[in-house]
Chains A and B, each alone.
Chain A
C-alpha cells in the first residue's frame, strides 16, 4: 500500500508541475545558465586557483549542485507543511488513515526525486559540456550522499515542526541556509575564512557534506574522506531521532491547542 501512496503522490506532483507550464520551463533552463556562468567565472579566475586540489569549475559545480540539492530537500518539509496550511489541506490530510509522519515523508518524495534528477543533469551537463577531470570514489560518494540525505531530512523535519509550532519554520531555514551558503564552502574553500568562521563552519553538517562529496569526486586522501564520513554519521545519529521526536511533539501539541491549520 505504501508504494501505491508513493506513486499517488508522485502522480499528483507531476500533474501539478506540468500544469504550471511557465514555471516548469524556467526551472529547466535556470541550471543551464548557472553552468555557463560558473564556467566563465572559473576561466576568469584562472587555472592556477585550485581550491582543495581541484579545478575551480569542478569545485563550484560540486559545491553548488550538491548544496542546492541538500537545501531544496531541507526546505521541502517546511514548504509541504506551509502549503498544506495555506491551502487548507493539512487538517483534512491529518484525518486520513495515513499517519502524519508518513504523510510528511510522502509529501517530499517528489521534491527529492526532482532534486536528484536536477543534480544529475546539472553535474552531468557540466561534465559533458566542459569536461573537468574527475576520479570518482563511488563508495565514498554513496556514503556521503546517504548520510547527507539523512541529515537534511532531519533538519527539514525540525523546520516542519517549527512551522507547526510557531508558524515560522522559514526563519530558521533562512538563517541556516544563508549562513551555510557563505561559510560551508559552496563558492570558496572554508580554509579561506577567518579562524572563528572556520570553527563555526565545522559545526555545520553541510560543510562536511560538501567537503566529503568533493573528496569522493576528486579522489582526495581516503583518510580525510573517512573522517568526513564519520562526522556525517555522528550528525545523523544525533539529528534523526531528535527530529522525529520534535515533529511528533509539535503535531501533538498543535492538536491539543487547535493550531494545526494556523500559519
Chain B
C-alpha cells in the first residue's frame, strides 16, 4: 500500500500580476513530471542541489502548493480535491525555524498548534510532553521561543509536526542547525517513528543522513527525479559519488558535512 503517490507532477512558477500583466515572463520549472511512490512506514530521502525541487515536492504533498499537472495522493486523498483530509494526516517541519510566536514559550506554542490540529483537550498535555521528550526539549519547555538557539528552534519545528500524530511526516533539512549528537538522536527518532507505520519523507543535502535513516533515496536535479535506489548496504561516500555523477557537481567542495555517519 503506497502512502504517498506523485503521478507525473509538474510545477511551474510563473510571475503573475493581479491587475497588470508582468513584463518578466521568466518561468521556473520547479518539477517536471515527477512520479514517485512511497510505501507506508518507509523513510525516503530526497537529495538534490539547491533549487532542484526538494522543498517544492514537500510543499505539494503538504497542500501548501497545488500541482499544475499530475496528481499528488496521500493515503488515497488527492491534495487538490481533498486537501482537508490530507492536512489531517501530514505533519510538516519546514526548513525555516522562525514560524512560531516569538513571545510564547515552547509549551504555549505547541499547545496553540495542537489546538488548531484538533488534538483533544484531554490528550493535549500528555501529547506535548511526549513530543518534547522525543525531541529533547523538556528542559526548555518554559522558555520563550525567541530565546531558543537555532538548533532548539529547529527541534521545535519537528515537535510541532509530531504533535498531531501524523501518518505522514515531511522533514525539510531537519538536521541543518543541529549539533552532531542531536542529529544522531533525531535519526534514531525517525527510525523509531517509521517502525510504528509513519511514512517519512526527508529533503536533505546530507549524505550521511540519507544513508543513516532512509530505506530509499531519490536524487532530484532541475525538477526531474534522476534516480531512486535502496539505501541499505551503501555508504555515504558511495551515495555521494553517485550523486555527483548524476548532478554533475564534480567541482563541489570536499565533504560537505561533519555529522557522524
Flag if B13 contacts A5 (CB, 8 Å): no
How many B residues touch the partner, as a band?
35 or more
CA distance A98 to B115 in the complex (A): 9
Flag if A97 contacts B92 (CB, 8 Å): no
Residue A1 at the chain B interface, CB threshold 8 Å: yes
A194 to B: closest C-beta gap in Å: 31
* In the complex with contacts A12-B108, A91-B64, A257-B16, A97-B88 CB distance below 8 A: yes
CA distance A220 to B195 in the complex (A): 73
With beta carbons under 8 angstroms apart, the residue of A16, A96, A256 that contacts B113 is A96
Residue B103 at the chain A interface, CB threshold 8 Å: yes
Flag if B66 contacts A97 (CB, 8 Å): no
Flag if B66 contacts A255 (CB, 8 Å): yes
Flag if B99 contacts A87 (CB, 8 Å): yes
CA distance A242 to B144 in the complex (A): 40
With beta carbons under 8 angstroms apart, the residue of A91, A97, A258 that contacts B99 is A91
Flag if A98 contacts B94 (CB, 8 Å): no
Flag if A4 contacts B87 (CB, 8 Å): no
Interface string of A125-153 (1 = CB under 8 A from B): 00000000000000000000000000000
With beta carbons under 8 angstroms apart, the residue of A93, A96, A166 that contacts B19 is A166
Residue A19 at the chain B interface, CB threshold 8 Å: yes
Residues of chain B contacted by A25 (CB below 8 angstroms): none
Flag if B87 contacts A97 (CB, 8 Å): yes
Flag if A257 contacts B64 (CB, 8 Å): no
CA distance A145 to B64 in the complex (A): 37
Residues of chain A contacted by B59 (CB below 8 angstroms): 91, 258
Residue A62 at the chain B interface, CB threshold 8 Å: no
B71 to A: closest C-beta gap in Å: 15
Flag if A16 contacts B103 (CB, 8 Å): yes
Flag if B64 contacts A94 (CB, 8 Å): yes
Residue B18 at the chain A interface, CB threshold 8 Å: yes
Which residues of B, 135-177, contact A by the 8 Å Cβ criterion? 144, 160, 164
A72 to B: closest C-beta gap in Å: 21
Residue A99 at the chain B interface, CB threshold 8 Å: yes
Residue on B nearest A260 in the bound complex, by CB: B64
Interface string of B64-78 (1 = CB under 8 A from A): 111010000000000
Flag if B101 contacts A16 (CB, 8 Å): yes
Residue B96 at the chain A interface, CB threshold 8 Å: yes
A14 to B: closest C-beta gap in Å: 11
Residues of chain B contacted by A89 (CB below 8 angstroms): 99-101
How many A residues touch the partner, as a band?
35 or more
Flag if A16 contacts B99 (CB, 8 Å): no
Flag if B65 contacts A93 (CB, 8 Å): no
A149 to B: closest C-beta gap in Å: 24
With beta carbons under 8 angstroms apart, the residue of A1, A16, A95, A253 that contacts B87 is A95
Residue A29 at the chain B interface, CB threshold 8 Å: no
Interface string of B11-30 (1 = CB under 8 A from A): 10110111100000000001
Residue A8 at the chain B interface, CB threshold 8 Å: yes
Flag if B116 contacts A98 (CB, 8 Å): yes
Interface string of B108-139 (1 = CB under 8 A from A): 10011101111001000000000000000000
A145 to B: closest C-beta gap in Å: 29
CA distance A259 to B90 in the complex (A): 21
A22 to B: closest C-beta gap in Å: 13
Residue A47 at the chain B interface, CB threshold 8 Å: no
CA distance A241 to B56 in the complex (A): 33
Residue A165 at the chain B interface, CB threshold 8 Å: yes
Flag if A91 contacts B101 (CB, 8 Å): no
Residues of chain B contacted by A92 (CB below 8 angstroms): 92, 94, 99, 113, 160
**Residue of B17, B56, B115, B160 with highest tally of chain A CB at under 10 A:** B115
B74 to A: closest C-beta gap in Å: 12
Flag if A97 contacts B84 (CB, 8 Å): yes
Residue A53 at the chain B interface, CB threshold 8 Å: no
* In the complex with contacts A87-B98, A92-B92, A97-B87, A8-B116 CB distance below 8 A: yes
Q: Which 3 A-B pairs have the closest CB atoms?
A: A88-B99, A8-B115, A19-B103
A1-B118, A87-B98, A258-B30 given. 19 additional CB < 8 A pairs? A4-B115, A4-B121, A5-B115, A5-B116, A9-B112, A11-B112, A19-B144, A87-B101, A88-B94, A88-B98, A92-B92, A94-B63, A95-B63, A96-B164, A98-B116, A252-B66, A255-B63, A257-B13, A258-B65
Q: Can you report 20 residue pairs joining A to B where beta carbons are below 8 Å apart?
A: A4-B115, A5-B115, A8-B115, A12-B112, A16-B104, A20-B103, A91-B94, A91-B99, A92-B92, A92-B113, A93-B116, A96-B116, A97-B87, A97-B116, A99-B84, A253-B16, A255-B63, A256-B68, A258-B11, A258-B59
